[in-house]
Amino acid sequence: MKRYQGYISDLDGTLYRGEEVIPGAPEAIAELRRRGCGVVFISNKPLERRRAYAEKLTRLGIPTVSDEVINSSLVLARYLANSEHGMAGATVFAIGEPPLLEELATAGLRLSDVPEEIEVVIASFDRTFDYHKLNIGFQALRRGARFLATNADPTCPVEGGEIPDAGAVIGALEGCSGRKVELVVGKPSPLIMEMALERLGLPAEACLMVGDRLETDIVMGHRAGMSTALVLSGVTRREDLSRSSIRPDYVLESIADLPRLIS
Amino acid sequence: MKRYQGYISDLDGTLYRGEEVIPGAPEAIAELRRRGCGVVFISNKPLERRRAYAEKLTRLGIPTVSDEVINSSLVLARYLANSEHGMAGATVFAIGEPPLLEELATAGLRLSDVPEEIEVVIASFDRTFDYHKLNIGFQALRRGARFLATNADPTCPVEGGEIPDAGAVIGALEGCSGRKVELVVGKPSPLIMEMALERLGLPAEACLMVGDRLETDIVMGHRAGMSTALVLSGVTRREDLSRSSIRPDYVLESIADLPRLIS
């Protein structure tokens, strides 16, 4: 394996599973940093504040600051705040949890639940989703509001199984409004990668994307023009890989193998 | 127009709009009955008890008993209770409102919100839909429960606009489970027509379907082998008709014109 200047790592399934760190992951990240490589962490999950992810990584032995974590809430907030996309300062209604709402407010967007003034409807992962929120989103979409989503994951893995993720909220809004979501900023959209590369200050070809999901992490790395490494410490098994047409550049048992491969 | 022995009439948009009866509708229904014709009323709406529809029609000048009203809740409950379909006495979880739950219980189905024991998940119109219900339905579908729906309307007309209907609940469950709804019993499914014909005790060719929606009422009548009459007192306008490939046998300004045409 060539030595990359920057590494973009997925979180769940790549660095930890639930509250358990992947053995060797802290040493691997420490070694990359010791060699002067840039490292950023990405997640599709809009449920936690970036600070909470940084604290969790730090607690698990991977010292991290908030700015090193990029999740779909942040990417969406930055996308909306970017004046090039015509929605800077827009009035937004988000079906999502408080960390997303905070990220949007911080980016200068105005939050509202009045359909007549909502210019953008955002579908996200929301464990407090209900008919009232559905109806507000629906009324705004019917009036022509833009329709964006943080992520499109059907489910989110949790202790003992999975629970409905943003895919359910998108499905509910599409099922009543006759509209289709216009943009999903999370993986496998290139937007989350663009922000990671910007943070690293490196071109795609100088970076390696490391993750445990073929359809999101690996596809997205390829699309961004990056090399990719699949780790088998998460949801993908070697037999899944042999059945898939998606081909990562490298396949590792876990991220712990990374420093050895590049030395 | 030939004289039919039975008439199947839609409710909203055909006999009334909200709380306003369509002028001449009571006289038209009375005249059909005076001539000895059978009349039943059908609705996709699972929100009200059949008794409530009968009381509303009676209040509006069309004396009606519960048995003359067939709605999607009743059709689904009867479908499940029919031993031919292999779900009689099944344990069911319904995302729906109390009138649906009552109809299911009356048909001998056991209601449960424990995913491990749920054999059938039902998506319906539910203004109390929330993430908790979504998750129960999802967990049961993941374990292999059957997936049925009362109706698939994206929206329901209400005073001043529309609100999300069962289409949103179906979309939410499909969006997270990766499953597709197996059966929708409401219009334009032939099941609701079969039950109406059974109630009338007449073959399809002896009956006229009267309704205000091309894609549901008229399509469903055609599929059932019945003659159809579109009324322009509801959502469909003459210009919609000219743009559509769906061709009703008759087009009436309103159901008030019916007795005159068949005399």
Q: Enter the ipTM.
A: 0.93
Q: Return mean pLDDT, chain B.
A: 95
Q: Does residue A165 belong to the interface with chain B, where contact is any CB pair within 8 Å?
A: yes
Is the distance from CB of B169 to CB of B123 less than 8 angstroms?
yes
Say yes or no: B161 contacts chain A, CB-CB below 8 A. Answer: yes
pLDDT at B162 over 90: yes
B164 CB near a chain A CB, below 8 Å? yes
A67 catalytic per annotation: no
When pLDDT is averaged across residues B251-257 and rounded to a whole number, the result is: 96
CB-based contact, B179 to chain A, within 8 Å: no
Q: Does B171 touch chain A (CB under 8 A)?
A: yes
Does the beta-carbon distance from B130 to A130 stay under 8 Å?
yes
Contact between B129 and A130 using a beta-carbon 8 Å cutoff: yes
Is A10 an annotated catalytic residue?
A: yes
Helix, strand, coil distribution of chain B in percent, nearest 5: 40, 20, 35
Cα nearest neighbour of A163 on chain B: B135
| Contacting residues of B for A181, CB less than 8 Å apart | none
Which pLDDT band, with edges at 50, 70 and 90, does B119 fall under? very high
pLDDT digits (tens, 9 = 90+) for B229-240: 999 999 899 999
Contact list, A162 vs chain B (CB under 8 Å): 142
pLDDT at A2 over 90: no
Domains of chain A, CATH where assigned: 6-44+187-262 (3.40.50.1000), 86-184 (3.40.50.1000)
Whether residue B168 lies within 8 A of chain A, CB to CB, comes out as yes
With 80 as the cut, is the pLDDT of residue A263 above it? Answer: no
In this prediction, residue B260 has a pLDDT band, given cuts at 50, 70 and 90, of confident
Residues whose CB is less than 8 angstroms from the CB of residue B12 and which lie 6 or more positions away in sequence, other chains included: B18, B43, B45, B157, B212, B234
Structure tokens at A45: 């999950």
Which chain B residues touch A175 with a CB distance below 8 Å? 154, 164, 167-172, 174-175
| C-beta neighbour count of B247 within 10 angstroms | 12
Mean residue pLDDT across chain A: 95
- Going by C-alpha positions, the residue among B40, B29, B19, B17 that lies closest to residue B255 is B29
**What residues contact residue B51 under an 8 Å CB cut-off, 6+ apart?**
B66
Q: Can you tell me the distance from the alpha carbon of B139 to that of B131, in angstroms, rounded to the nearest whole number? A: 12
DSSP B39: E
Residue the block writes with tokens 């907030």: A77
Give the best residue of B134, B158, B163, B215 to mutate against chain A (max A CB count within 10 A): B134
Whether A151 has its CB under 8 Å from any CB of chain B: the answer is no
Q: Mean pLDDT throughout B164-180? A: 98
**Which of A47, A127, A134 has the most B C-beta neighbours within 10 Å, making it the best mutation to test the interface with B?**
A134
Strands A16-17 and A20-21, bridge-based pairing = antiparallel
Distance, CA of A168 to CA of B177 (rounded, Å): 8
> Quick one: how far is CA A18 from the chain centroid?
16
Contact B226, B30 (CB under 8 A): no
Query: Rounded to whole angstroms, how far apart are CA atoms A9 and A199?
Result: 13
Judged by a CB distance cut-off of 8 A, whether residue A97 touches chain B is no
pLDDT, tens digit, 9 for 90 and up, residues A242-252: 999 999 999 99
Of residues A128, A139, A171, nearest to B175 (C-beta): A171
Pairing status of strand B91-95 against strand B110-111: parallel
Res A228 pLDDT > 90: yes
Residues in Cβ contact with B54 at an 8 Å cutoff, skipping those fewer than 6 apart = B64, B65, B66, B68, B69
User: Which residues of B carry out catalysis?
Assistant: 10, 12
What is the tens place of the pLDDT at every residue in A125-161?
999 999 999 999 999 999 999 999 999 999 998 888 9
Partners of A215 on chain B (C-beta within 8 Å) are: none
- State pLDDT tens for residues A181-227: 999 999 989 899 999 999 999 999 999 999 999 999 999 999 999 99
DSSP B4: P
Q: What pLDDT sits at residue B157?
A: 85
DSSP H or E run through B6: strand B6-10
In this prediction, residue B136 carries a pLDDT of: 98
Q: Which of A19-28, B25-34, B58-67, B156-165 comes out lowest in average pLDDT?
A: B156-165
Q: Which of A256, A240, A263 is nearest to A248 (CA)?
A: A240
pLDDT of residue A171: 98
Judged by CB atoms closer than 8 Å, whether chains meet at B172 and A168 is answered as yes
Model confidence, pTM: 0.93
Indicate the SS3 state at residue B52: helix
User: Residue A127: which of B131, B161, B165 has the nearest Cβ?
Assistant: B131
Chain A nearest CA to B172, separation (Å): 4
**Which of A131, A161, A170 lies closest to B129 in CB terms?**
A131
Contacts of B112 (CB under 8 A, 6+ apart): B91, B92, B93, B118
- For the segment B81-93, the average pLDDT, to the nearest whole number, is 95
Find all residues with CB under 8 Å of A96, minimum gap 6, and list them: A46, A73, A122, A123, A124, A125, A126, A150
Q: Concatenated DSSP letters for B196-226?
A: HHHHHT--GGGEEEEES-IIIIIHHHHHTT-
Between CA A96 and CA A224 the distance in angstroms is 28
* Alpha-carbon Rg for chain B in angstroms: 19
Q: Under an 8 A CB cutoff, do B176 and A170 touch?
A: no
Which residues of chain B does A178 touch, with a Cβ-Cβ cutoff of 8 Å?
Answer: 154
Q: What is the DSSP string of chain A?
A: -PPPSEEEEESBTTTEETTEEPTTHHHHHHHHHHTT-EEEEEE---SS-HHHHHHHHHHTT----GGGEEEHHHHHHHHHHSGGGT-TT-EEEEES-HHHHHHHHHTTPEE---GGG--EEEE---TT-BHHHHHHHHHHHHTT-EEEES---SEEEETTEEEE-HHHHHHHHHHHH-----EE-STTSHHHHHHHHHHHT--GGGEEEEES-IIIIIHHHHHTT-EEEEETTSS--HHHHHH-S---SEEESSGGGHHHHH-
Dump pLDDT digits (tens) for B45-57.
999 999 999 999 9
The Cα B244–Cα B226 span in angstroms is: 19
Contacts of B68 (CB under 8 A, 6+ apart): B39, B40, B41, B54, B199
pLDDT digit string, tens, across residues A78-135: 999 999 999 999 999 999 999 999 999 999 999 999 999 999 999 999 999 999 999 9
Cis amide linkage into residue A188, ω under 30° from 0: yes
- The model's pLDDT over A59-71, given as tens digits with 9 standing for 90+, comes to 999 999 999 999 9
What is the token pair recorded at A68?
């090193």
